[in-house]
Homo-oligomer: A and B are copies of this chain.
Amino acid sequence: MKKESGTRYTRQERDALRSALAARQQVIKEQKLPVIVMVDGWSAAGKGSAISSTIRLMDPRFFKVYNMDKITEDEWRRPFLYRYAVKMPGQGQVAFFDGSYLDEAVKDYLSGLTNRKEFERTLKSIRDYERSMTDNGYLIIKIFLNVDKKTQKKRLKALQESKNTAWRVVDEDLWQNENYETFATAYQEARTATETSDCPWHVVEVGNEKDMEGDLLSIITHAIDGRLAEIGEKGRDRRPVKNPFALTKIKPLAKVKLEGKAVPEAEYRKELEQLQKKLSKLHYKLYRKKIPMVIAYEGWDAAGKGGNIKRVASALDCRGYEVFPIASPTPEEKSRHFLWRFWNRLPKTGHIAIFDRTWYGRVMVERLEGYCSENDWQRAYNEINEFERDLTDAGTILVKFWVQIDKDTQLQRFTERQNTPEKQWKITDEDWRNREKWDLYETAIDEMLQKTNTEFAPWTILESNDKYYARIKALKVIIGAIEEKLKEKTKE
A59 within 8 A of B: yes
Task: Tell whether, in the assembled complex, residue B325 and residue A61 are in contact, meaning their CB atoms are under 8 Å apart.
Answer: yes
A297 to chain B, nearest CB (A): 11
Pairwise interchain contact A164-B48, C-beta atoms closer than 8 A: no
* Residue A128 CB within 8 A of the other chain: no
Say whether B72 contacts A318, CB under 8 Å.
Answer: no
> Which of A281, A319, A323 has its CB near the most chain B CB atoms (within 10 A)?
A319
Q: Are B67 and A319 in contact (CB under 8 A)?
A: yes
**Shortest Cβ distance from residue A303 to the other chain B in the assembled complex, whole angstroms:** 15
A267 at the interface (CB under 8 A from B): no
User: Which one of A144-152, A306-314, A468-476, A479-487 contacts B?
Assistant: A306-314
Copies per complex of this chain: 2
> Which residues of B have CB within 8 Å of A64?
322
Bitwise, A364-397 to B at CB < 8 A (1) or not (0) is 0000000000000000000000000000000000
Number of residues of chain A lying within 8 A (CB) of chain B:
46
A167 to B288, CA, bound (A): 9
Contact: A310 with B65, CB < 8 Å?
Answer: no
Min Cβ gap A71→B in Å is 11
Contacts A26-B422, A314-B56 hold; do A65 and B319 have CB atoms under 8 A apart? Answer: yes
CA distance A57 to B164 in the complex (A): 58
Q: Which residue of B lies closest to A305 (CB)?
A: B61
Give the complex CA separation of A164 and B288 in angstroms: 9
- Cross-chain contact B317 with A284 (CB below 8 angstroms): no
A423, closest chain B residue (CB): B26
Of A51, A59, A324, most buried by chain B (CB within 10 Å of CB) is: A59
Q: Residues of B contacting A135 with CB < 8 Å?
A: none
Query: Is A425 an interface residue when CB atoms closer than 8 A count as contact?
Result: yes
Instruction: Tell me which residues across on chain B come within 8 A of A247, comparing CB atoms.
Output: none
Q: Is A331's beta carbon under 8 Å from chain B? A: yes
The reply to whether B48 and A319 contact each other, CB–CB distance below 8 Å, is yes
Which residues 152-167 of A have a CB within 8 angstroms of B? 164, 167
A74 in contact (CB, < 8 A):
yes
A67 to B287, CA, bound (A): 14
Per-position contact with B for A323-352: 1 when CB-CB < 8 Å, else 0?
Answer: 111000011100000000000000000000
Q: Using an 8 Å CB-CB cutoff, how does the interface string of A211-222 with B read, 1 for contact, 0 for none?
A: 000000000000
| Shortest distance from the beta carbon of A245 to any chain B beta carbon, whole Å | 31
Give Cα A138 to B37, complex, Å: 42
- A–B complex contacts, Cβ < 8 Å, 18 sampled: A26-B422, A26-B425, A29-B425, A48-B317, A48-B318, A51-B318, A52-B318, A57-B314, A60-B313, A60-B323, A60-B354, A65-B319, A67-B319, A96-B318, A98-B318, A164-B281, A164-B284, A330-B332
Nearest 9 A-B pairs (CB), nearest first? Answer: A60-B313, A60-B323, A61-B325, A65-B318, A67-B319, A52-B318, A56-B314, A51-B318, A61-B323
